[in-house]
């Protein structure tokens, strides 16, 4: 049994990119995949929300034989697989560099730290990624009778020109946002708009609180952006927005 471990760090879009890379690695090198999102941003773990179909996987770290824990690439992770990838990964990123195709790496366990180099194919990821049934029930199917606008605030700045351009594209819209101030302004200027979700206190797309409610809010917004026939962003450089628009989250709901 050879394994690729996908650690999680940063925002949801970054996680999907890294996870996609690890899925590609698993298929290319005939490895099982284990996903560790037990970091301080996501906190609740990957397996509570997702599973893979038609892809060999490890669902618990305890299922990996202890003797394999020493045969790890990059070597820094030897006997440290239980450590979540938190902010410290940036301080030792050179020791965590993951490029298995460069050199002879036959170790039993490979670890991607959730930062750094990645190759990604979201379509390939969506062939295998599925929502757990109990999570599906908590994410509503949205009826798109208006254009959808994404008001990314908090850790993203915008100009007044960007605001005015968005208002022209979608004068009346369905609104999702992580910023209560932006929501208030939009609804004051466009009272016929529809607010799809209220910003959760302490939540942004990059820095979540360690609460299940925040993760569900994130997934609801990401899937709405993915599935909307027409969607616009206040900041079109938002990776969250860009990744949502190229991700087929309808497949996540399939059996």
Using a cut of 0.85, tell me whether the model's pTM lies above it: yes
> Looking at the predicted structure, is the pLDDT value of residue 234 above 70?
yes
pLDDT at site 208:
46
Is residue 137 domain-resident? no
Is residue 254 domain-resident? no
Q: Please state the separation of Cα 4 from the chain's center in Å.
A: 18
pLDDT per residue as tens digits for the range 75-115? 999 989 999 999 999 999 999 999 998 888 999 999 999 99
Is residue 253 domain-resident? no
Q: What is the mean pLDDT of residues 185-213?
A: 75
Q: What is the mean pLDDT of residues 62-83?
A: 88
Is residue 42 domain-resident? yes
Q: What is the mean pLDDT of residues 161-174?
A: 96
- Residues 241, 193, single domain; the answer is yes
pLDDT at site 169:
96
pLDDT at site 239:
92
Chain mean pLDDT for the chain: 91
- Residues 106, 157, single domain; the answer is no
Q: How confident is the model at residue 167 (pLDDT cuts 50, 70, 90)?
A: very high
- Residues 163, 99, single domain; the answer is no
Q: How confident is the model at residue 18 (pLDDT cuts 50, 70, 90)?
A: very high
Higher pLDDT, 237 or 25: 25
- Residues 154, 216, single domain; the answer is yes
Buried b / exposed e across 132-153, counting CB within 10 Å, b at 16+? eeebeeebeebeeebbbbbbbb
Is residue 255 domain-resident? no
- Residues 119, 217, single domain; the answer is no
Q: How confident is the model at residue 211 (pLDDT cuts 50, 70, 90)?
A: confident
pLDDT at site 204:
53
> Looking at the predicted structure, is the pLDDT value of residue 57 above 90?
yes
Q: What are the backbone dihedrals phi and psi of residue 111, each rounded to the nearest 5 degrees, phi first? A: -130, 125
- Residues 171, 124, single domain; the answer is no
Is residue 141 domain-resident? no
- Residues 14, 52, single domain; the answer is yes
Is residue 142 domain-resident? no
pLDDT at site 201:
53
pLDDT at site 219:
95
pLDDT per residue as tens digits for the range 191-200? 999 998 777 5
> Looking at the predicted structure, is the pLDDT value of residue 35 above 80?
yes
Strands 50-52, 129-131: parallel, antiparallel or unpaired by DSSP? antiparallel
| Residue that is last in its domain, among 79, 101, 131 | 131
Overall number of domains in the chain: 2
Residue 66 belongs to what domain range? Answer: 3-131
pLDDT at site 200:
57
pLDDT at site 157:
80
> Looking at the predicted structure, is the pLDDT value of residue 136 above 80?
yes
pLDDT at site 189:
97
- Residues 19, 124, single domain; the answer is yes
Is residue 205 domain-resident? yes
- Residues 121, 191, single domain; the answer is no
- Residues 15, 86, single domain; the answer is yes
- Residues 117, 15, single domain; the answer is yes
> Looking at the predicted structure, is the pLDDT value of residue 209 above 80?
no
| Residue that is last in its domain, among 77, 103, 131 | 131
- Residues 121, 237, single domain; the answer is no
Report the CATH number at residue 100: 3.40.50.11340
């Amino acid at each position: 049994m050879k394994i690729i471990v996908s650690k999680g760090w940063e925002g949801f879009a970054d996680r999907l990119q890294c996870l996609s890379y690890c899925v590609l690695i698993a298929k290319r090198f005939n490895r099982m995949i284990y996903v560790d999102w037990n970091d301080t941003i996501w906190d609740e773990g990957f397996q509570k929300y997702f599973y893979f179909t038609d892809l060999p996987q490890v669902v618990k770290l305890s299922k990996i034989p202890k003797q394999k824990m020493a045969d790890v690439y990059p070597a820094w992770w030897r006997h440290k697989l239980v450590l979540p990838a938190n902010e410290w990964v940036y301080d030792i990123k050179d020791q965590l560099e993951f490029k298995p195709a460069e050199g002879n790496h036959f170790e039993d366990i490979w670890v991607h730290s959730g930062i750094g180099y990645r190759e990604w194919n979201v379509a390939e990821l969506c062939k295998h990624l599925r929502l757990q049934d109990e999570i599906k029930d908590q994410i509503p199917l949205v009826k798109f009778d208006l254009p959808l606008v994404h008001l990314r605030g908090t850790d993203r700045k915008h100009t007044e020109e960007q605001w005015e351009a968005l208002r022209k594209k979608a004068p009346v819209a369905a609104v999702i946002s992580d910023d209560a101030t932006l929501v208030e302004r939009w609804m004051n200027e466009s009272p016929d708009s529809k607010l799809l979700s209220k910003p959760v206190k302490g939540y942004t797309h990059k820095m979540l609180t360690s609460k299940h409610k925040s993760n569900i809010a994130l997934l609801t917004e990401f899937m709405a952006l993915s599935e909307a026939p027409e969607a616009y962003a206040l900041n079109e450089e938002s990776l969250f927005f860009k990744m949502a628009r190229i991700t087929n989250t309808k497949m996540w709901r399939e059996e």
